[in-house]
Chains A and B, each alone.
Chain A
Amino acid sequence: MESIQNWWDFVQTRQDDVIKESLVHLRLVAITVVMATIIAVSVGILVSQRPLLRALALSISSTFLTIPSLALFALFVPLVGTGNMPAIIAMTMYALLPILRNTVTGLDAVSPAVVESAKGMGMNGRQQLVRVRLPLAYPLIMAGIRVATLLTVGIAAIAVLVGGGGLGDFIRLGINQQGFPFANYAVVTGVVFIVLIGLVLDIALATFQRFTTARGLRS
């Protein structure tokens, strides 16, 4: 109990830093998820009815996930310099797979009878997509975005290594000052607020999803 109290004192004395780094962290995540969503949903739509391209897109985005995150972050530094940029690029690459996979799965899961009747009533390809297939795939796409968000919140901690800032700063501080008092408090601060941000974002997205899903699709 005493150590929790001590940790909390540590957080309070660095309140400004905690808030500032949380906001930086949040911003990184937000930019990444928005970019990844735009790219993954577009690609998902393009490849959904083309089996070959679809397999290609999915395996490329899976490959991104197997690259060690530390290395991926570092790879972009020579290209775009340090700061937010390499972090955002690397994180976007990680966030692609869950969204892409769910977009493709969601679009493919639309009942063939529904698509057949949409086409049979004279909807062109774009109308079928916008009025029928995307609304029906929406719950799955949102689920992918939520997974991507959680993934990104965690990985963003590494952004600090390429000069990106965020709550990873506390973790780095803790590691660098091992043996000093407060070192562990710093690491715990980073971890706790990262988890908190993840939870808050997930609840926010779940609520958003609930209110934006067509009533006929809600369970």
Chain B
Amino acid sequence: MTTASETHLDKDSASGGGSKIHLDRVGKTYPGSKVPAVEELTLDVPEGEILVLVGPSGCGKSTTLRLINRMIEPSTGRILLDGEDVTRANPDKLRRRIGYVIQQIGLFPHQTIAQNIATVPKMLGWDKTRIQERTTELLTTVGLDPEQFAHRYPRELSGGQAQRVGVARALGADPDIMLMDEPFGAIDPITRDRLQNEFLRLQAELHKTIVFVTHDIDEAIKMGDRIAILGERSMIRQVDTPERILAYPVDDFVSDFIGTGATIKGLNFLKVSSLTLADFPTMADGDSPEAVRGKLQQAGYQWAVVLDAERRPSGWIHQDALGGSGEQAPIEGTLDSDGTLFHALEQMVQSESGMTVVTGASGRFEGVVRMTDLAKAIRRAQVEARRHYDDLEANS
């Protein structure tokens, strides 16, 4: 483990008191084994955050997750929820407070969808009307029509529908905390992508505190507010926001794990609005070819953006076409300031000019993103991430 991630850990444990989930040196050693499955682990999850545990197969990430709701009893350490020590609390009562979603879903095949979702509310002794309302509400929340699905049986569902029910069931009694163990792992890529998006939308409303396990770094980057990259025996190699991990992997293990293309993936987290767009030569309605050629020479560009009467971009024009053929190259889509630099890159490589046009309100031309802008933005993100870790180290 590097110094950088250690210092980060120290900071986390110091601020442990106020977090929703606090693991205090929690470890697991199975009887008869000398090597712990989970080395003493200290981790904080603030309220409303999705923390993703990601790591290679067999690193103990699922075990770590299952220590939190004590499906596996920790051998050392303490688990605190809302500051309350639950390490010795009744495990069944504890689990009723925590939503739990697993990859194999585990719906009860002998019960209807509605009965499945009502499992925890029923154990908590809710009355019938309240349970009925809740199941209807939850089915709607996860995008299944209650009329159509409430009385079906699990075997009548597709994999995607079943996992929606799995999520609804975990949300049954409205727990603050959700533990999700590769919930979308066994679902085809297209459905998985849709479920991930829907889940993120749902989370934006619900603000649950979520610990999410996956072995897929791309899923981790997509789902996580923060990512904890785990090595052997569940030791934290780096825990941080996805953008910082992508910009500054602290060691070879982390950079190997996030793999090639990390820089490109990092562009997903950078917005067009973070760039200062330089002046760019345009050819507005009524500009003479000579004037535009002059602007191009002065700025050192070969392409100008052609604007219509409302100053909306309509095409690219090359300097050789000015005054001659007047032929324009199409604009392959534009971005607004909310767009990510990843989209900017995508459009850039499709455009003949090698640049992406940015528009503002009512489609008016704002500026242009060039490859050098991307390179600068990436370097800035890397420098900022590095400085962040340097500061942490200096303060420790």
> A interface, how many residues as a size bin?
20 to 34
Binary contact readout B83-120 vs A (1 if CB under 8 angstroms, 0 otherwise):
00000000011111000101011111111100000011
- Report yes or no: B109 in contact with A122, Cβ–Cβ below 8 A: no
Q: Is A120 an interface residue (CB 8 A)?
A: yes
List residues of A (103-117) whose CB comes within 8 Å of B's CBs. Answer: 111-117
- Report yes or no: B95 in contact with A120, Cβ–Cβ below 8 A: yes
Binary contact readout A62-99 vs B (1 if CB under 8 angstroms, 0 otherwise):
00000000000000000000000000000000000000
Q: Tell me which of A46-54, A141-149, A162-170, A211-219 binds B.
A: A211-219
Cα(A153)–Cα(B260), bound, Å: 72
Residues of B within 8 A of A188 (CB): none
> B interface, how many residues as a size bin?
20 to 34
- Report yes or no: A216 in contact with B106, Cβ–Cβ below 8 A: no
**CB-based nearest B residue for A213:** B110
Binary contact readout A4-17 vs B (1 if CB under 8 angstroms, 0 otherwise):
00000000000000
- Report yes or no: A121 in contact with B110, Cβ–Cβ below 8 A: no
Residues of B within 8 A of A111 (CB): 104, 106
- Report yes or no: A122 in contact with B93, Cβ–Cβ below 8 A: yes
Q: Is A127 an interface residue (CB 8 A)?
A: yes
- Report yes or no: A121 in contact with B71, Cβ–Cβ below 8 A: no
Q: Which of A117, A122, A135 contacts B102 (CB 8 A)?
A: A117
Residues of A within 8 A of B96 (CB): 121-122
Cα(A115)–Cα(B108), bound, Å: 9
Residues of B within 8 A of A136 (CB): 108-110
Q: Shortest beta-carbon distance, A108 to chain B, in Å?
A: 16
Residues of A within 8 A of B94 (CB): 122
Q: Is A123 an interface residue (CB 8 A)?
A: yes
List residues of A (161-219) whose CB comes within 8 Å of B's CBs. Answer: 214-217
- Report yes or no: A117 in contact with B110, Cβ–Cβ below 8 A: no
Cα(A217)–Cα(B112), bound, Å: 11
Q: Is B69 an interface residue (CB 8 A)?
A: yes
Residues of B within 8 A of A217 (CB): 109-110
User: Can you report 21 residue pairs joining A to B where beta carbons are below 8 Å apart?
Assistant: A113-B102, A116-B71, A116-B102, A117-B105, A117-B169, A120-B71, A120-B100, A120-B102, A121-B100, A121-B119, A121-B123, A122-B94, A122-B95, A122-B96, A122-B120, A127-B123, A136-B108, A136-B109, A136-B110, A216-B109, A216-B110
Chain B residues packing against A (C-beta within 8 Å): 69, 71, 92-96, 100, 102, 104-112, 119-120, 123, 153-155, 166, 169-170, 172
